[in-house]
Amino acid sequence: MDVTLLGTGSADGWPNPFCGCASCRAARVSGEIRAQTSALVDGRILLDCGSETPRQALRAGVDLTGLGAVLVTHAHPDHLDPSMLLYRSWATDTPLEIFGPRPVIDACSQWVGNGSNVTLTVVKPGQRIDLRGYAVRVLPARHGGTDEAVLYDVQAPDGKRLLYATDTGPLQGDDIAAMSGAHYDYVLLEETFGDQAVRRGDHLNLTTFAQTVQAMRAVGAIDRGTDVVAVHLGHHNPPTPELARRLKAFGARVVPDGTALSRQRAVAQPVPPRRTLVTGGARSGKSHEAERLLAAHRNVVYVATSGQHPGDADWERRVARHRQRRPETWETRETLDLVRVLSKPGPPVLIDCLTLWLTRALDLLGAWEDGADLDRVERDLEEEFQRVAEAFRTTSRTLVAVTNEVGSGIHPETPAGRRFRDLLGRLNTMIAAECDQVLWCVAGRIVTL
């Protein structure tokens, strides 16, 4: 199966030509123009055909002379421009089969002349089509009314299998169950809205994209060998390098228009880092980034090191807000025993955060008390740091830890403050050395160190 992505953009494309936002400007400056989403399989089956699609094929170095069938997801103009049937008729009248929900077929019928070799077939979710050796399954989409939009599952004669999944909102339990054990080779999954909340449930953003990937992984629709590509991308997404970084955490990727997937997939498969340290100043977006990195996991153990602060209303409000942001399937564990958590196999772990862990470790060692033997405290801590670093090195779990960058502020006034700053710097350095990836958050932007 040869898959050429003719377009990877949303209806308005990305950049939107009328828009001056930073995301559109970045795309324009780098020359990354994304046209309306569609894909060509083996030069024979076209998935969606918006007004830009036929020209996009030429730009990708392929043509549509061998086209035998068009599978259309729905009748929105970025997925169907039936005037192409007229332009095609000026060149050839070889047989062509068009499949789509009722509105698609109604729109096409006005462009097909009497005695034409073009056949039009209405499809419904659940239907199977045998397309000269290609097994096609029609799946439901969450986009507008029922029977108005569908997704396609295409298996080629060589056994390779593709899911074309645009446009849709979050898929429901039954939709996902229908993909059980599919082990797709390619999943083209829409991700229209980036970090923007989706008002109507007709599309996905980065959060619901991650959840969909996770749900598909849980039923064996996506496995290690699946090339998961985000499509139908719009300008609410961050610029491509940042988008690529974000998708990598979910085992997915972004490619330019015109990419032939089959030829480059072996080198391109993104492997998410297993251990990540996220550092930054207060309110820099660290916790948010840490949570986003694990968004494609259903079960995560959230290790809270803050302890209880009874009577502190401001604290409780912050904790409640953070908790609300996390999926219900995540488990919160209050503990300082990081070694114990990391030494056991299990789901991914998010430690938030090492700064509070150190604060409480110092509490337990009585470091803040008058006349405390601070040299002894430091020796004890150094041993504890070694044990934690060792646990980071040997753990079998996927791990994200959050910490603070306190060394670049003003020089602390008190000796205790200076000691704390120095110890945290030491701890961060030791942990960073054990991590596959270290991210630095500044003003909500992420720098890979």
Which residues are identified as catalytic? 322
E strand spans, 168-312: 186-190, 227-231, 252-253, 275-280, 301-304
* By the rule CB under 5 A, 34 interacts with Zn ion: no
Nearest residue (CB) to Zn ion, 194 versus 251:
194
C-alpha dist (Å) from residue 149 to 76, 143, 146, 365, 419:
9, 6, 7, 63, 62
Cβ-based neighbours of 383, under 8 Å, separated by 6 or more: none
Cβ-based neighbours of 340, under 8 Å, separated by 6 or more: none
Which range touches Zn ion (CB under 5 A), out of 27-35, 76-84, 205-213, 265-273?
A: 76-84
| Closest distance of CB 80 from Zn ion, Å | 10
C-alpha dist (Å) from residue 215 to 101, 211, 300, 311, 394:
26, 6, 14, 40, 29
* By the rule CB under 5 A, 190 interacts with Zn ion: no
| Closest distance of CB 128 from Zn ion, Å | 25
* By the rule CB under 5 A, 143 interacts with Zn ion: no
| Closest distance of CB 21 from Zn ion, Å | 3
Q: Which residues pair with 45 in a beta bridge?
A: 41, 69
Q: Which residues pair with 70 in a beta bridge?
A: 46, 98
Of 52, 50, 112, 56, the residue nearest 85 (C-alpha): 112
Of 213, 194, 215, the residue nearest 204 (C-alpha): 194
CA dihedral 47, 53, 59, 64 (to 10 degrees): 60
Nearest residue (CB) to Zn ion, 24 versus 338:
24
301, 278 in Cβ contact below 8 A? Answer: no
| Closest distance of CB 78 from Zn ion, Å | 4
Nearest residue (CB) to Zn ion, 11 versus 430:
11
* By the rule CB under 5 A, 11 interacts with Zn ion: yes
Identify residues 234-263 at the interface with Zn ion (CB under 5 A). 235
Nearest residue (CB) to Zn ion, 12 versus 380:
12
* By the rule CB under 5 A, 81 interacts with Zn ion: no
* By the rule CB under 5 A, 26 interacts with Zn ion: no
| Closest distance of CB 108 from Zn ion, Å | 17
Q: According to CB under 5 A, which one of 42, 48, 52, 78 is a site residue for Zn ion?
A: 78
10, 205 in Cβ contact below 8 A? Answer: no
Which range touches Zn ion (CB under 5 A), out of 9-17, 80-88, 144-152, 353-361?
A: 9-17
| Closest distance of CB 81 from Zn ion, Å | 12
Identify residues 118-137 at the interface with Zn ion (CB under 5 A). none
Cα 179 versus chain centre, distance = 19
Total of residues contacting Zn ion (CB under 5 A)? 8
Binding mask 218-237 for Zn ion (x = CB under 5 A): -----------------x--
For tokens 């503990």, name the residue. Answer: 335
Give the orientation angle of helix 415-434 with respect to helix 354-364, to 10 degrees: 130
Say how far apart CA 131 and CA 170 lie, in whole Å: 28
Identify residues 155-174 at the interface with Zn ion (CB under 5 A). 167
Nearest residue (CB) to Zn ion, 169 versus 251:
169
The full length of the chain comes to: 449
Nearest residue (CB) to Zn ion, 80 versus 304:
80
Phi, psi of 280 (to 5 degrees): 160, 175
For tokens 């916790």, name the residue. Answer: 287
Nearest residue (CB) to Zn ion, 236 versus 297:
236
| Closest distance of CB 22 from Zn ion, Å | 8
* By the rule CB under 5 A, 24 interacts with Zn ion: yes
* By the rule CB under 5 A, 21 interacts with Zn ion: yes
| Closest distance of CB 53 from Zn ion, Å | 12
Which range touches Zn ion (CB under 5 A), out of 73-81, 259-267, 376-384, 391-399?
A: 73-81
* By the rule CB under 5 A, 19 interacts with Zn ion: yes
Which range touches Zn ion (CB under 5 A), out of 72-80, 137-145, 168-176, 217-225?
A: 72-80
- Between strands 69-71 and 45-47, the pairing is parallel
Nearest residue (CB) to Zn ion, 150 versus 423:
150
Which residues of this chain interact with Zn ion, rule CB under 5 A? 11, 16, 19, 21, 24, 78, 167, 235
